[in-house]
Chain A
Amino acid sequence: MNKIRDIDLMQLADDELTSAEREGVEAAVAADAGARARLDGVVEIGEVVRTHLERAADDAEPRLAALWSAIDREIDKHAALDREPAPRAADPADAPRGVWSRFTRWLDAYRGHILTGTLSAGAVAAIVLVLRPAGDHAAPVTPPVARAGSASAVDDGSHGPAVPVPDGAGDPRVVPVVHTPAEVESLDVDGGTGTVFTVKDEDGEETTVIWVTPDDTLEGI
Protein backbone atom coordinates (compact mmCIF):
# COMPACT_ATOMS: atom_id res chain seq x y z
CA MET A 1 0.00 0.00 0.00
CA ASN A 2 1.15 3.49 -0.66
CA LYS A 3 1.99 5.94 2.10
CA ILE A 4 -1.05 6.59 4.24
CA ARG A 5 -2.32 10.08 3.90
CA ASP A 6 -3.24 12.18 6.96
CA ILE A 7 -6.79 12.59 5.70
CA ASP A 8 -7.22 8.86 5.65
CA LEU A 9 -6.01 8.69 9.26
CA MET A 10 -8.35 11.51 10.32
CA GLN A 11 -11.34 9.86 8.57
CA LEU A 12 -10.42 6.60 10.23
CA ALA A 13 -10.26 8.26 13.60
CA ASP A 14 -13.62 9.92 13.00
CA ASP A 15 -15.13 6.71 11.61
CA GLU A 16 -15.94 8.30 8.31
CA LEU A 17 -14.60 5.62 5.95
CA THR A 18 -16.48 2.86 4.20
CA SER A 19 -15.86 -0.64 5.40
CA ALA A 20 -13.58 -1.44 2.44
CA GLU A 21 -11.54 1.74 2.91
CA ARG A 22 -11.47 1.18 6.64
CA GLU A 23 -10.02 -2.33 6.16
CA GLY A 24 -7.39 -1.03 3.76
CA VAL A 25 -6.33 1.86 6.06
CA GLU A 26 -6.30 -0.34 9.18
CA ALA A 27 -4.12 -2.89 7.40
CA ALA A 28 -1.73 -0.15 6.35
CA VAL A 29 -1.62 1.36 9.85
CA ALA A 30 -0.96 -2.08 11.32
CA ALA A 31 1.98 -2.55 9.01
CA ASP A 32 3.38 0.93 9.54
CA ALA A 33 4.43 2.00 13.03
CA GLY A 34 4.78 5.61 11.88
CA ALA A 35 1.24 5.63 10.60
CA ARG A 36 0.17 4.09 13.90
CA ALA A 37 1.75 6.92 15.83
CA ARG A 38 0.22 9.55 13.58
CA LEU A 39 -3.22 7.92 14.02
CA ASP A 40 -2.83 8.06 17.80
CA GLY A 41 -1.87 11.68 17.50
CA VAL A 42 -4.93 12.46 15.39
CA VAL A 43 -7.18 10.66 17.90
CA GLU A 44 -5.57 12.52 20.80
CA ILE A 45 -5.93 15.88 19.07
CA GLY A 46 -9.61 15.12 18.40
CA GLU A 47 -10.24 14.37 22.03
CA VAL A 48 -8.43 17.50 23.08
CA VAL A 49 -10.57 19.58 20.74
CA ARG A 50 -13.77 17.93 21.94
CA THR A 51 -12.77 18.42 25.55
CA HIS A 52 -12.00 22.03 24.87
CA LEU A 53 -15.35 22.54 23.20
CA GLU A 54 -17.19 20.79 26.01
CA ARG A 55 -15.47 23.00 28.54
CA ALA A 56 -16.25 26.09 26.54
CA ALA A 57 -19.87 24.94 26.36
CA ASP A 58 -19.89 24.34 30.11
CA ASP A 59 -18.43 27.78 30.69
CA ALA A 60 -21.07 29.35 28.45
CA GLU A 61 -23.89 27.38 30.02
CA PRO A 62 -24.85 30.00 32.68
CA ARG A 63 -24.90 32.80 30.12
CA LEU A 64 -26.80 30.66 27.64
CA ALA A 65 -29.23 29.66 30.37
CA ALA A 66 -29.92 33.29 31.17
CA LEU A 67 -30.34 33.99 27.48
CA TRP A 68 -32.70 31.07 27.03
CA SER A 69 -34.59 32.13 30.09
CA ALA A 70 -35.03 35.60 28.65
CA ILE A 71 -36.14 34.08 25.36
CA ASP A 72 -38.60 31.84 27.15
CA ARG A 73 -40.04 34.80 29.03
CA GLU A 74 -40.50 36.74 25.80
CA ILE A 75 -42.12 33.76 24.17
CA ASP A 76 -44.46 33.28 27.12
CA LYS A 77 -45.28 36.96 27.12
CA HIS A 78 -46.20 37.00 23.45
CA ALA A 79 -48.15 33.80 23.84
CA ALA A 80 -50.16 35.37 26.65
CA LEU A 81 -50.83 38.43 24.53
CA ASP A 82 -51.99 36.24 21.69
CA ARG A 83 -54.44 34.48 23.99
CA GLU A 84 -55.96 37.78 25.18
CA PRO A 85 -58.75 39.33 23.01
CA ALA A 86 -57.34 41.97 20.76
CA PRO A 87 -58.15 45.47 21.84
CA ARG A 88 -60.98 46.72 19.61
CA ALA A 89 -60.70 49.79 17.53
CA ALA A 90 -62.76 52.76 18.51
CA ASP A 91 -66.30 51.73 17.79
CA PRO A 92 -69.05 54.24 17.38
CA ALA A 93 -71.23 51.80 19.23
CA ASP A 94 -69.11 52.37 22.33
CA ALA A 95 -69.75 56.08 22.17
CA PRO A 96 -72.16 57.52 24.69
CA ARG A 97 -75.61 56.66 23.54
CA GLY A 98 -77.81 59.69 23.47
CA VAL A 99 -81.30 59.73 22.04
CA TRP A 100 -80.10 61.43 18.89
CA SER A 101 -77.23 58.99 18.33
CA ARG A 102 -79.57 56.06 18.82
CA PHE A 103 -81.99 57.61 16.38
CA THR A 104 -79.33 58.24 13.75
CA ARG A 105 -77.98 54.71 14.11
CA TRP A 106 -81.47 53.35 13.78
CA LEU A 107 -82.01 55.59 10.79
CA ASP A 108 -78.81 54.33 9.19
CA ALA A 109 -79.88 50.76 9.76
CA TYR A 110 -83.39 51.16 8.38
CA ARG A 111 -83.00 53.93 5.87
CA GLY A 112 -84.77 51.86 3.27
CA HIS A 113 -87.83 51.43 5.45
CA ILE A 114 -87.96 55.12 6.22
CA LEU A 115 -87.72 55.93 2.53
CA THR A 116 -90.50 53.48 1.80
CA GLY A 117 -92.67 55.00 4.48
CA THR A 118 -92.04 58.53 3.29
CA LEU A 119 -92.84 57.66 -0.30
CA SER A 120 -95.98 55.90 0.83
CA ALA A 121 -97.03 58.96 2.80
CA GLY A 122 -96.43 61.20 -0.17
CA ALA A 123 -98.41 58.90 -2.43
CA VAL A 124 -101.31 58.77 0.00
CA ALA A 125 -101.29 62.55 0.39
CA ALA A 126 -101.20 63.02 -3.39
CA ILE A 127 -104.11 60.62 -3.85
CA VAL A 128 -106.11 62.39 -1.17
CA LEU A 129 -105.48 65.78 -2.73
CA VAL A 130 -106.34 64.57 -6.22
CA LEU A 131 -109.46 62.66 -5.29
CA ARG A 132 -110.84 65.23 -2.91
CA PRO A 133 -114.08 66.78 -4.21
CA ALA A 134 -113.64 70.12 -5.91
CA GLY A 135 -115.88 71.80 -3.37
CA ASP A 136 -113.39 71.05 -0.65
CA HIS A 137 -110.92 73.34 -2.31
CA ALA A 138 -113.23 76.24 -1.88
CA ALA A 139 -111.42 79.16 -0.50
CA PRO A 140 -112.67 80.30 2.81
CA VAL A 141 -114.86 83.31 2.77
CA THR A 142 -115.26 85.99 5.28
CA PRO A 143 -117.45 84.44 7.91
CA PRO A 144 -120.59 86.21 8.94
CA VAL A 145 -120.03 88.44 11.88
CA ALA A 146 -122.26 87.66 14.79
CA ARG A 147 -122.50 90.31 17.43
CA ALA A 148 -124.95 90.04 20.20
CA GLY A 149 -126.88 93.11 21.14
CA SER A 150 -125.88 95.17 18.15
CA ALA A 151 -127.87 98.31 17.81
CA SER A 152 -128.71 100.72 15.09
CA ALA A 153 -126.38 103.62 14.90
CA VAL A 154 -125.81 106.44 12.52
CA ASP A 155 -122.11 106.77 12.12
CA ASP A 156 -120.07 109.40 10.39
CA GLY A 157 -117.25 106.94 9.85
CA SER A 158 -114.82 108.64 12.15
CA HIS A 159 -115.17 106.01 14.86
CA GLY A 160 -113.83 103.13 12.86
CA PRO A 161 -117.00 101.20 12.12
CA ALA A 162 -116.88 97.67 10.81
CA VAL A 163 -115.94 98.10 7.21
CA PRO A 164 -115.96 95.40 4.60
CA VAL A 165 -112.40 94.66 3.78
CA PRO A 166 -110.93 93.26 0.59
CA ASP A 167 -110.50 89.54 0.33
CA GLY A 168 -107.76 88.22 2.50
CA ALA A 169 -106.87 91.54 4.04
CA GLY A 170 -105.39 91.02 7.46
CA ASP A 171 -105.98 87.30 7.47
CA PRO A 172 -103.24 85.18 5.91
CA ARG A 173 -105.47 82.11 5.98
CA VAL A 174 -107.93 83.65 3.55
CA VAL A 175 -107.20 82.70 -0.02
CA PRO A 176 -107.95 85.33 -2.65
CA VAL A 177 -111.16 84.42 -4.40
CA VAL A 178 -112.91 85.40 -7.55
CA HIS A 179 -114.85 88.62 -7.37
CA THR A 180 -118.28 88.67 -8.91
CA PRO A 181 -119.98 92.00 -9.50
CA ALA A 182 -123.31 92.67 -7.91
CA GLU A 183 -126.29 91.48 -9.89
CA VAL A 184 -129.66 93.15 -9.84
CA GLU A 185 -132.47 90.63 -10.03
CA SER A 186 -135.27 93.13 -9.79
CA LEU A 187 -135.59 96.89 -9.57
CA ASP A 188 -138.65 98.98 -8.90
CA VAL A 189 -138.37 102.75 -8.98
CA ASP A 190 -141.29 104.82 -7.78
CA GLY A 191 -141.79 108.01 -9.70
CA GLY A 192 -138.78 107.62 -11.88
CA THR A 193 -136.53 105.26 -13.77
CA GLY A 194 -133.64 103.09 -12.81
CA THR A 195 -130.58 102.19 -14.83
CA VAL A 196 -128.10 99.53 -13.94
CA PHE A 197 -124.45 100.05 -14.84
CA THR A 198 -121.60 97.65 -14.51
CA VAL A 199 -118.32 99.48 -14.89
CA LYS A 200 -114.74 98.59 -14.15
CA ASP A 201 -112.69 100.46 -11.63
CA GLU A 202 -109.00 101.27 -11.94
CA ASP A 203 -108.08 97.74 -10.86
CA GLY A 204 -110.36 96.15 -13.43
CA GLU A 205 -112.85 95.03 -10.80
CA GLU A 206 -116.41 95.43 -11.87
CA THR A 207 -118.71 97.68 -9.95
CA THR A 208 -122.47 97.69 -10.18
CA VAL A 209 -124.27 100.99 -9.92
CA ILE A 210 -128.03 101.58 -9.90
CA TRP A 211 -128.75 105.04 -11.18
CA VAL A 212 -132.14 106.34 -10.10
CA THR A 213 -133.63 109.22 -12.01
CA PRO A 214 -136.87 110.70 -10.61
CA ASP A 215 -139.59 111.68 -13.02
CA ASP A 216 -139.55 115.22 -11.76
CA THR A 217 -135.97 115.46 -12.89
CA LEU A 218 -136.97 114.18 -16.31
CA GLU A 219 -139.88 116.54 -16.44
CA GLY A 220 -137.52 119.37 -15.67
CA ILE A 221 -135.32 118.62 -18.63
Chain B
Amino acid sequence: MTEARTGRSAFRLASWIAALVAVVVVAFAPTSARADGKKGDDDGAEPPDVTMQCQVIEILATKTDHPSVAPELKDVAKKLKTKAFSAWNTFTQSGRSSKTLSRMVPETFDLPNGKATVMIREVDHPAKKRARVTLDIGLAKKSGKHYADTKSSVDAGDFLLFARGGDDGIITAVGCQ
Protein backbone atom coordinates (compact mmCIF):
# COMPACT_ATOMS: atom_id res chain seq x y z
CA MET B 1 0.00 0.00 0.00
CA THR B 2 2.69 2.35 1.11
CA GLU B 3 4.84 1.24 -1.78
CA ALA B 4 2.02 1.85 -4.24
CA ARG B 5 1.46 5.31 -2.78
CA THR B 6 5.15 6.09 -3.06
CA GLY B 7 5.17 4.87 -6.65
CA ARG B 8 2.30 7.19 -7.52
CA SER B 9 4.17 10.06 -5.89
CA ALA B 10 7.23 9.28 -7.95
CA PHE B 11 5.18 9.18 -11.12
CA ARG B 12 3.56 12.46 -10.20
CA LEU B 13 7.00 13.95 -9.60
CA ALA B 14 8.22 12.68 -12.96
CA SER B 15 5.23 14.30 -14.62
CA TRP B 16 6.04 17.56 -12.92
CA ILE B 17 9.61 17.32 -14.16
CA ALA B 18 8.35 16.77 -17.69
CA ALA B 19 6.05 19.74 -17.46
CA LEU B 20 8.82 21.88 -16.00
CA VAL B 21 11.23 20.99 -18.77
CA ALA B 22 8.61 21.80 -21.38
CA VAL B 23 7.93 25.17 -19.79
CA VAL B 24 11.63 25.95 -19.64
CA VAL B 25 12.08 25.04 -23.32
CA VAL B 26 9.23 27.29 -24.35
CA ALA B 27 10.24 30.11 -22.05
CA PHE B 28 13.85 30.23 -23.15
CA ALA B 29 13.35 29.57 -26.83
CA PRO B 30 14.55 32.62 -28.73
CA THR B 31 11.76 34.48 -30.40
CA SER B 32 11.96 37.42 -32.65
CA ALA B 33 9.44 39.23 -30.52
CA ARG B 34 11.72 39.12 -27.52
CA ALA B 35 14.94 39.60 -29.39
CA ASP B 36 14.07 42.67 -31.32
CA GLY B 37 11.92 44.39 -28.81
CA LYS B 38 8.65 43.90 -30.61
CA LYS B 39 5.66 43.81 -28.37
CA GLY B 40 4.08 40.61 -29.50
CA ASP B 41 3.00 41.53 -32.99
CA ASP B 42 4.29 39.42 -35.85
CA ASP B 43 3.22 41.65 -38.72
CA GLY B 44 6.68 43.14 -39.12
CA ALA B 45 5.61 46.63 -38.16
CA GLU B 46 8.06 48.59 -36.13
CA PRO B 47 7.13 49.97 -32.73
CA PRO B 48 6.18 53.62 -32.86
CA ASP B 49 9.08 54.75 -30.70
CA VAL B 50 11.81 53.08 -32.76
CA THR B 51 15.13 54.81 -32.78
CA MET B 52 18.30 53.81 -34.55
CA GLN B 53 21.86 54.90 -34.57
CA CYS B 54 22.68 56.13 -38.03
CA GLN B 55 25.94 57.32 -39.40
CA VAL B 56 27.27 58.85 -42.55
CA ILE B 57 30.84 58.38 -43.68
CA GLU B 58 32.49 60.59 -46.22
CA ILE B 59 35.38 59.00 -48.06
CA LEU B 60 37.87 60.59 -50.40
CA ALA B 61 38.88 58.29 -53.23
CA THR B 62 41.91 58.73 -55.42
CA LYS B 63 44.28 56.69 -57.50
CA THR B 64 47.85 56.54 -56.27
CA ASP B 65 50.93 54.39 -56.56
CA HIS B 66 50.38 53.13 -53.05
CA PRO B 67 46.90 51.60 -52.79
CA SER B 68 45.49 51.71 -49.31
CA VAL B 69 42.33 51.87 -47.31
CA ALA B 70 42.44 53.97 -44.17
CA PRO B 71 42.19 51.87 -40.99
CA GLU B 72 39.20 53.85 -39.75
CA LEU B 73 37.29 52.65 -42.81
CA LYS B 74 37.48 49.07 -41.65
CA ASP B 75 33.70 48.73 -41.55
CA VAL B 76 33.37 49.55 -45.27
CA ALA B 77 36.77 48.39 -46.52
CA LYS B 78 35.39 45.31 -48.27
CA LYS B 79 32.90 47.42 -50.16
CA LEU B 80 35.58 49.86 -51.27
CA LYS B 81 37.59 47.00 -52.75
CA THR B 82 34.81 45.97 -55.12
CA LYS B 83 35.10 46.57 -58.83
CA ALA B 84 32.53 49.37 -58.55
CA PHE B 85 35.35 51.52 -57.21
CA SER B 86 38.13 50.05 -59.29
CA ALA B 87 38.85 53.48 -60.76
CA TRP B 88 40.39 54.35 -57.42
CA ASN B 89 42.76 52.52 -55.15
CA THR B 90 43.33 54.86 -52.24
CA PHE B 91 40.60 55.66 -49.78
CA THR B 92 40.75 58.00 -46.82
CA GLN B 93 38.06 59.07 -44.42
CA SER B 94 37.31 62.75 -44.55
CA GLY B 95 34.46 62.67 -42.08
CA ARG B 96 32.12 60.51 -40.10
CA SER B 97 28.96 61.67 -38.41
CA SER B 98 26.68 59.66 -36.16
CA LYS B 99 23.22 60.46 -34.84
CA THR B 100 20.30 58.76 -33.18
CA LEU B 101 17.32 58.97 -35.45
CA SER B 102 13.67 58.53 -34.67
CA ARG B 103 11.27 57.25 -37.26
CA MET B 104 9.96 59.85 -39.71
CA VAL B 105 12.20 62.54 -38.27
CA PRO B 106 14.81 63.75 -40.79
CA GLU B 107 18.26 64.61 -39.58
CA THR B 108 21.06 66.39 -41.38
CA PHE B 109 24.61 65.14 -41.18
CA ASP B 110 27.25 67.77 -41.82
CA LEU B 111 30.24 66.51 -43.71
CA PRO B 112 33.47 68.19 -44.85
CA ASN B 113 32.38 68.14 -48.48
CA GLY B 114 28.63 68.35 -48.25
CA LYS B 115 25.61 67.29 -46.27
CA ALA B 116 23.41 64.25 -46.01
CA THR B 117 19.82 64.27 -44.84
CA VAL B 118 18.56 60.95 -43.57
CA MET B 119 15.10 59.92 -42.39
CA ILE B 120 13.98 56.49 -41.22
CA ARG B 121 10.72 55.59 -42.89
CA GLU B 122 10.20 52.18 -41.45
CA VAL B 123 11.96 49.24 -39.90
CA ASP B 124 10.94 45.71 -40.74
CA HIS B 125 11.95 42.59 -38.84
CA PRO B 126 11.75 39.73 -41.33
CA ALA B 127 12.27 36.20 -40.06
CA LYS B 128 15.82 34.89 -40.23
CA LYS B 129 17.03 38.16 -41.64
CA ARG B 130 18.46 41.30 -40.28
CA ALA B 131 16.18 44.19 -39.56
CA ARG B 132 15.46 46.05 -42.74
CA VAL B 133 15.52 49.84 -42.64
CA THR B 134 13.85 51.96 -45.23
CA LEU B 135 15.59 55.31 -45.52
CA ASP B 136 15.03 58.55 -47.31
CA ILE B 137 18.44 59.95 -48.13
CA GLY B 138 19.23 63.32 -49.62
CA LEU B 139 22.73 64.40 -50.57
CA ALA B 140 24.04 67.91 -51.14
CA LYS B 141 27.38 69.25 -52.24
CA LYS B 142 29.57 71.48 -50.14
CA SER B 143 27.99 74.42 -51.93
CA GLY B 144 24.61 73.34 -50.61
CA LYS B 145 23.34 72.28 -54.01
CA HIS B 146 21.15 69.25 -53.75
CA TYR B 147 22.18 66.56 -56.16
CA ALA B 148 20.50 63.26 -55.22
CA ASP B 149 17.46 61.93 -53.39
CA THR B 150 16.68 58.29 -52.90
CA LYS B 151 14.40 55.99 -51.03
CA SER B 152 16.23 52.78 -50.28
CA SER B 153 16.04 49.85 -47.95
CA VAL B 154 19.15 48.48 -46.33
CA ASP B 155 19.94 45.91 -43.69
CA ALA B 156 20.55 47.22 -40.21
CA GLY B 157 24.29 47.52 -39.81
CA ASP B 158 24.90 47.63 -43.54
CA PHE B 159 25.79 50.65 -45.65
CA LEU B 160 24.43 52.08 -48.86
CA LEU B 161 27.18 53.78 -50.83
CA PHE B 162 26.97 56.84 -53.08
CA ALA B 163 29.85 57.76 -55.36
CA ARG B 164 30.48 60.85 -57.43
CA GLY B 165 33.48 62.44 -59.07
CA GLY B 166 36.14 61.75 -61.61
CA ASP B 167 39.80 61.17 -60.96
CA ASP B 168 39.19 62.14 -57.38
CA GLY B 169 35.93 60.96 -56.05
CA ILE B 170 33.79 61.31 -52.98
CA ILE B 171 32.02 58.29 -51.60
CA THR B 172 29.25 58.72 -49.06
CA ALA B 173 28.24 55.68 -47.02
CA VAL B 174 24.96 55.76 -45.12
CA GLY B 175 23.84 53.12 -42.65
CA CYS B 176 21.76 52.59 -39.51
CA GLN B 177 21.60 50.00 -36.81
Candidates B37, B100, B145, B146; contact of A143 at CB < 8 Å? B37
Distance (Å) between the CB of A199 and the closest chain B CB? 4
Is B67 close to A, CB under 8 A?
no
- Quick one: closest A residue to B86, CB to CB? A199
Is A219 close to B, CB under 8 A?
no
Known: A141-B36, A163-B75, A201-B82. A208 touches B160 (CB 8 A): yes
Which B residues from 20 to 71 make CB contacts under 8 A with A? 20-22, 25-26, 29-37, 42, 50-53, 55, 57
Is A117 within 8 A of B18, CB to CB?
yes
Is A137 within 8 A of B127, CB to CB?
yes
Distance (Å) between the CB of B38 and the closest chain A CB? 10
Distance (Å) between the CB of A54 and the closest chain B CB? 69
- Quick one: closest B residue to A192, CB to CB? B147
Is A155 within 8 A of B96, CB to CB?
yes
Is A113 close to B, CB under 8 A?
yes
Is A161 within 8 A of B7, CB to CB?
no
Is A162 within 8 A of B30, CB to CB?
no
Is A144 within 8 A of B52, CB to CB?
yes
Complex Cα gap A151–B101 (Å): 10
Tally of A-B residue pairs with Cβ under 8 A?
279
Distance (Å) between the CB of B91 and the closest chain A CB? 12
Complex Cα gap A120–B158 (Å): 45
How many B residues are at the interface, by size bracket? 35 or more
Kindly supply a per-residue 1/0 record for chain A positions 142-157, scoring 1 wherever the CB is within 8 Å of any chain B CB and 0 otherwise: 1111110011111111
Q: Chain B interface secondary structure, helix, strand, loop or mixed?
A: mixed
Is A156 within 8 A of B37, CB to CB?
no
Is A189 within 8 A of B147, CB to CB?
yes
Is A211 within 8 A of B97, CB to CB?
no
Kindly supply a per-residue 1/0 record for chain A positions 102-132, scoring 1 wherever the CB is within 8 Å of any chain B CB and 0 otherwise: 0000100110011011101110110011001
Candidates A140, A152, A173; contact of B109 at CB < 8 Å? A152
Is A186 close to B, CB under 8 A?
yes
Give chain B's interface residues, CB within 8 Å of chain A. 7, 10-11, 13-15, 17-22, 25-26, 29-37, 42, 50-53, 55, 57, 72-73, 75, 78-79, 81-85, 93, 95-100, 107-112, 123, 125-132, 134, 139, 145-164, 166, 175-177
Pairs A–B under 8 Å by Cβ, sample size 17: A128-B25, A129-B29, A135-B127, A137-B32, A138-B125, A141-B36, A145-B100, A156-B93, A161-B55, A162-B98, A178-B128, A184-B150, A184-B152, A185-B152, A197-B84, A202-B78, A210-B152
